[in-house]
């Protein structure tokens, strides 16, 4: 899907979303039942660097400051984090963390947050965009990854063919929507009949989970069998040794 | 106390995760959760012909710091580079959720994260990546409950990838000279963008770009310590009572702080360019001077802040 397709499908009754510098998007749109949603985004396959991260965090914090608890929809077609000496020198880790914290603050203050992925998102950019909202929706064309298989092959020194074979039996390392859905990272996958506006409306109407539900979901989908149990065992011992 | 432990106490960098915890906390106060005797190991490593560890490379538990109750997690940088896998990450998530749920007079006064990590463990990349997001989510909840989260970085693996992002989500960051804090590792940038973008074999350059001195002077870490375990301990004790709250005002201040850094230094590609612009003395030699001389330098305006 192109960006225009995505915006039309999510907001068929119209939107005021404009492109900004560094691949960013910002604006507002209407979704049934909500008078207004804030739309932010990084698109065009742009790697997420310090410039885009600070702009996006600024938009999110402005929405929080407005105090209207309007939902925030984060439209994502990025790449990995911007791999540049200059960005690292400036402290890219702080900029990505700041963006994540801003979205977390928005959610904590009652703004439902949804990331809508329709292209790439990888590595640190995946964490600070797609994984930083309460829900992550994968649209046709979504291609999330932590690292691509050739790079994993280089680092682990395992042949690519062996990794491709392994990827068929476990969702634990391979790129793509399917494995990331199985482990609980992707909340919903939307395909088929459009517009997606009604599905977005439904998603925004659901009460947010009291606690991060992704390890529970990963267990239910049989993609991440241990995470929730391990976290619970640690927490139980913390209580026992109080 | 054994001679072995005394030797390790001298250097955070040389110590194991367990020795760091033992030396950081009040003597004999540490109680480990889900310890190695329970064999909570990664089930994913065998298919990559890798041997697991009984603690999956992270130690979590509670103890006392200067008689105050704290929760603590320590990554073992010598096991798979301290990388986050499913079990490793879930142990930290569980610890943070327990801290959140026990917030109050009887709960911990702080959570200490002894980070030593290259980021996501690629053999379980998806689980590690999602664990990092869950950890950040939980750190925000712990901070929102009024409990400071301190990052202590000074190990061999530094804090890279998602580990660098986690670091900057904490209330306070303490680092020693050896610490590197970044997202993309120099090798990754060199592989993807070429040696002219980042020569990862140029160690001095790597430390100027990612190292604790650069982070400290620009405000990317809050306290620079000389690197012994008692130095980290003393500084952690002092910081617990002075951690910024997690709220809109803090993040607005961080927005201003990071915007200003970008405006002032956005065209710099090496640390001495920043030092010259900021008018710091000895801008060509900051990487080489002693810790004492370094600590005597006035940081860049705004580097000492509550905006995190």
CB A57 within 8 A of CB A22: no
Q: Is residue B173 part of a domain?
A: yes
| ipTM, interface predicted TM-score of the complex | 0.98
The residue of A83, A103, A138, A176 whose CB has the most chain B CBs within 10 angstroms, and thus the best one to mutate to test that interface, is: A83
Dihedrals φ, ψ of B76, to 5°?
Answer: -95, 100
- Shared-domain flag, residues A41 and A131: yes
Residues A88-127 as b or e (16 or more Cβ within 10 Å = b): bbbbbbbbbbbbbbbbbbbbbeebbbbbbbbbbbbbbbbb
With 50 as the cut, is the pLDDT of residue B166 above it?
A: yes
Nearest to B165 among A83, A128, A174 (CB): A128
- Shared-domain flag, residues A148 and A185: yes
- Nearest of A208, A148, A217, A229 to residue A186 by alpha carbon: A217
Sheet order of strands, A113-117 included: A15-19, A24-31, A34-48, A72-81, A113-117, A135-138, A188-189
Contact B161 A214 (CB under 8 A): no
With 90 as the cut, is the pLDDT of residue B196 above it?
A: yes
- Shared-domain flag, residues A194 and A84: yes
Q: Cα torsion for A49, A55, A58, A62, to the nearest 10°?
A: -140
CB B266 within 8 A of CB A54: no
Contact A93 B33 (CB under 8 A): no
The residue of B258, B266, B273, B305 whose CB has the most chain A CBs within 10 angstroms, and thus the best one to mutate to test that interface, is: B258
Q: For the segment B122-132, what is each residue's pLDDT rounded down to a tens digit?
A: 999 999 999 99
Output the pLDDT for position B137.
98
Secondary structure of chain B in HEC code, one letter for each residue = CCHHHHHHHHCCCCCCHHHHHHHHCCCCCCEEECCHHHCCCCCCCHHHCCCCCCCCCEEEEEEEECCEEEEEEEECCCCHHHCECHHHHHHHHHHHHHHHHCCCCCCCCEEEEEECECCECHHHHHHHHHHHHHHHHHHHHHHHCCCCEEEEECCCCCECCHHHHHHCCCCEEEEECCCEECCCCHHHHHHHHCCCCCCCCCHHHHHHHHEHHHHHHHCCCCEEECCCHHHHHHHHHHHHCCCCCCCHHHHHHHHHHHHHHHHHHCCCCCHHHHHHHHCCCCCCCCCCCCHHHHHCCCCCCCCCCCCC
Task: Flag whether residue B262 sits within 8 Å of chain A, measured between CB atoms.
Answer: yes
Contact A234 B127 (CB under 8 A): no
Q: Is residue B149 part of a domain?
A: yes
In angstroms, the CA B35 to CA B92 distance is: 13
SS3 content of chain A, % helix, strand, coil (to 5): 45, 25, 30
Output the pLDDT for position A192.
86
In angstroms, the CA B4 to CA B19 distance is: 10
Chain A contacts of B144, Cβ < 8 Å?
108
Distance of CA B137 to the CA centre of its chain: 17
Number of domains in chain B: 1
Q: Within a 10 A sphere around the Cβ of B189, how many other Cβ atoms?
A: 24
Number of domains in chain A: 2
C-alpha distance from B7 to closest chain A C-alpha (Å): 30
Which of B:158-197 have CB within 8 Å of A? 159, 161-162, 164-169, 181-184, 188-189, 191-193, 197
Nearest to A127 among B94, B101, B165 (CB): B165
Dihedral sign for Cα B26, B32, B35, B38, please.
positive
Choice among A187-196, A218-227, B77-86 with the minimum mean pLDDT? A187-196
Dihedrals φ, ψ of A42, to 5°?
Answer: -130, 125
C-alpha distance from B5 to closest chain A C-alpha (Å): 26
Output the pLDDT for position A159.
92
- Shared-domain flag, residues A138 and A233: no
Choice among A57-61, A146-150, B147-151 with the minimum mean pLDDT? A146-150
C-alpha distance from residue A9 to each of A123, A152, A186, A195, A204 (Å):
27, 35, 19, 4, 16
Spatial neighbors of B241 by CB under 8 A, at least 6 apart, are none
The residue of B151, B183, B192, B213 whose CB has the most chain A CBs within 10 angstroms, and thus the best one to mutate to test that interface, is: B183
Q: Is residue B299 part of a domain?
A: no
With 60 as the cut, is the pLDDT of residue B8 above it?
A: no
Chain B contacts of A172, Cβ < 8 Å?
44, 86, 124-127
Chain B contacts of A174, Cβ < 8 Å?
126
Q: Is residue B277 part of a domain?
A: no
The mean pLDDT value for B223-234 works out to 97
- Shared-domain flag, residues A97 and A150: yes
Q: Which domain holds residue A16?
A: 3-208
Which of A:97-156 have CB within 8 Å of B? 97-98, 100-102, 104-105, 108-109, 123-124, 126-128, 131-132, 146-147, 151-152, 154-156
Contact B184 A173 (CB under 8 A): no
Chain A contacts of B278, Cβ < 8 Å?
none
In angstroms, the CA B50 to CA A173 distance is: 15
Helix (H) or strand (E) holding A89: helix A85-90
With 90 as the cut, is the pLDDT of residue A207 above it?
A: no
Burial of B232 (0-12, 13-18, 19+ CB in 10 A): buried
Q: Which domain holds residue B71?
A: 3-181+220-245
- Shared-domain flag, residues A46 and A121: yes
Output the pLDDT for position A241.
87
C-alpha distance from B229 to closest chain A C-alpha (Å): 25
Q: For the segment B24-68, what is each residue's pLDDT rounded down to a tens digit?
A: 999 999 999 999 999 999 999 999 989 999 999 999 999 999 999
Q: Which residue has the higher pLDDT, B49 or A55?
A: A55
Chain A, nearest residue to B164 by Cα: A93
Contact A173 B262 (CB under 8 A): no
Output the pLDDT for position B176.
98
The mean pLDDT value for A95-107 works out to 98
With 50 as the cut, is the pLDDT of residue A225 above it?
A: yes
- Shared-domain flag, residues A235 and A175: no
Residue-averaged pLDDT of chain B: 95
Contact B130 A101 (CB under 8 A): no
Contact A237 B130 (CB under 8 A): no
C-alpha distance from residue A46 to each of B16, B129, B301, B303 (Å):
40, 20, 32, 30
Q: Is residue B282 part of a domain?
A: no
- Shared-domain flag, residues A17 and A124: yes
Which of B:61-120 have CB within 8 Å of A? 61-62, 71, 86-87, 89-91, 93-95, 97-99, 101-102, 106, 120
Of all residues in chain B, the percent with pLDDT exceeding 90 is 93
In angstroms, the CA A47 to CA A55 distance is: 14
Q: For the segment A6-20, what is each residue's pLDDT rounded down to a tens digit?
A: 999 999 989 999 999
How is residue A146 annotated by DSSP?
S
Nearest to B126 among A90, A98, A180 (CB): A180
- Shared-domain flag, residues A237 and A197: no
Q: Within a 10 A sphere around the Cβ of A206, how many other Cβ atoms?
A: 11
Helix (H) or strand (E) holding A44: strand A34-48
Q: Is residue B262 part of a domain?
A: no
How is residue A68 annotated by DSSP?
S
Cis ω for the linkage preceding A169 (within 30 of 0): no
Contact A233 B94 (CB under 8 A): yes
With 70 as the cut, is the pLDDT of residue B1 above it?
A: no
Q: For the segment B241-261, what is each residue's pLDDT rounded down to a tens digit?
A: 999 999 999 999 999 999 999
C-alpha distance from A12 to closest chain B C-alpha (Å): 32
List the CATH number of the domain containing B232: 3.90.226.10
Of all residues in chain A, the percent with pLDDT exceeding 70 is 99
In angstroms, the CA A6 to CA B224 distance is: 47
Q: Cα torsion for B168, B174, B180, B182, to the nearest 10°?
A: 0
- Shared-domain flag, residues A203 and A221: no
Contact A91 B168 (CB under 8 A): yes
List the CATH number of the domain containing A141: 3.90.226.10
With 50 as the cut, is the pLDDT of residue A234 above it?
A: yes
- Shared-domain flag, residues A43 and A78: yes
Q: Is residue B117 part of a domain?
A: yes
Helix (H, G, I), strand (E, B) or coil at A108: helix
Output the pLDDT for position A33.
64
- Nearest of B239, B244, B216, B226 to residue B304 by alpha carbon: B216
- Shared-domain flag, residues A160 and A110: yes
Output the pLDDT for position A34.
66
């Amino acid at each position: 899907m192109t960006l225009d397709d995505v915006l039309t499908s999510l907001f068929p009754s119209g939107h005021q979303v404009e492109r900004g510098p560094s691949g960013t998007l910002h604006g507002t749109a209407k979704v049934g039942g909500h008078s207004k949603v804030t739309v932010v985004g990084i698109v065009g396959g742009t790697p997420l660097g310090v410039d885009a991260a600070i702009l996006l965090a600024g938009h999110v914090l402005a929405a929080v400051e407005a105090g209207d608890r309007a939902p925030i929809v984060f439209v994502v077609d990025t790449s990995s984090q911007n791999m540049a000496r200059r960005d690292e020198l400036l402290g890219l880790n702080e900029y990505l963390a700041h963006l994540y914290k801003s979205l977390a603050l928005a959610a904590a203050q009652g703004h439902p947050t949804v990331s809508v992925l329709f292209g790439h998102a990888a590595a640190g950019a995946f964490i600070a965009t797609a994984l930083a909202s309460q829900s992550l929706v994968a649209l046709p064309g979504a291609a999330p990854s932590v690292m691509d298989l050739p790079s994993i092959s280089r680092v682990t020194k395992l042949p690519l063919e062996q990794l491709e074979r392994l990827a068929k039996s476990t969702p634990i390392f391979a790129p793509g929507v399917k494995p990331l859905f199985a482990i609980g990272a992707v909340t919903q996958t939307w395909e088929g009949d459009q517009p997606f506006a009604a599905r977005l409306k439904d998603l925004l109407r659901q009460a947010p989970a009291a606690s991060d539900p992704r390890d529970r979901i990963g267990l239910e989908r049989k993609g991440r069998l241990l995470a929730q149990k391990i976290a619970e065992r640690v927490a139980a011992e913390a209580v026992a040794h109080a | 106390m054994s001679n072995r432990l005394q030797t390790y106490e001298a250097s955070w960098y040389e110590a194991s995760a367990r020795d760091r915890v033992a030396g950081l906390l009040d003597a004999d106060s540490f109680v480990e959760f889900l310890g190695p005797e329970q064999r909570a190991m990664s089930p994913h490593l065998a298919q990559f012909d890798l041997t697991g560890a009984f603690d999956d490379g992270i130690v979590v538990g509670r103890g006392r710091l200067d008689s105050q109750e704290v929760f603590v997690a320590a990554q073992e940088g010598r096991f798979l580079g301290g990388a986050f896998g499913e079990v490793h990450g879930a142990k930290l998530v569980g610890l943070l959720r327990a801290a959140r749920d026990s917030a109050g007079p009887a709960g911990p006064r702080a959570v200490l994260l002894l980070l030593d990590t290259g980021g996501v463990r690629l053999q379980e990349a998806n689980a590690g990546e999602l664990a990092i997001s869950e950890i950040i989510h939980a750190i925000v909840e712990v901070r929102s409950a009024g409990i400071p989260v301190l990052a202590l970085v000074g190990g061999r693996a530094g804090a890279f990838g998602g580990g660098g992002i986690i670091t900057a989500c904490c209330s306070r960051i303490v680092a020693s000279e050896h610490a590197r804090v970044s997202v993309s590792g120099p090798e990754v940038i060199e592989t993807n963008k070429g040696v002219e973008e980042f020569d990862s074999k140029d160690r001095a350059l790597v430390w100027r770009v990612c190292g604790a001195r650069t982070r400290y002077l620009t405000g990317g870490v809050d306290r620079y310590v000389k690197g012994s375990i008692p130095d980290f301990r003393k500084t952690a004790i002092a910081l617990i009572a002075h951690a910024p709250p997690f709220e809109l005002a803090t993040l607005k201040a961080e927005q201003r702080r990071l915007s200003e850094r970008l405006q002032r230094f956005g065209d710099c590609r090496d640390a001495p360019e920043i030092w010259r612009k900021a008018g710091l003395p000895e801008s060509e030699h900051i990487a080489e001077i002693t810790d004492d001389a370094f600590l005597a330098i006035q940081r860049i305006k705004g580097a000492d802040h509550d905006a995190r």
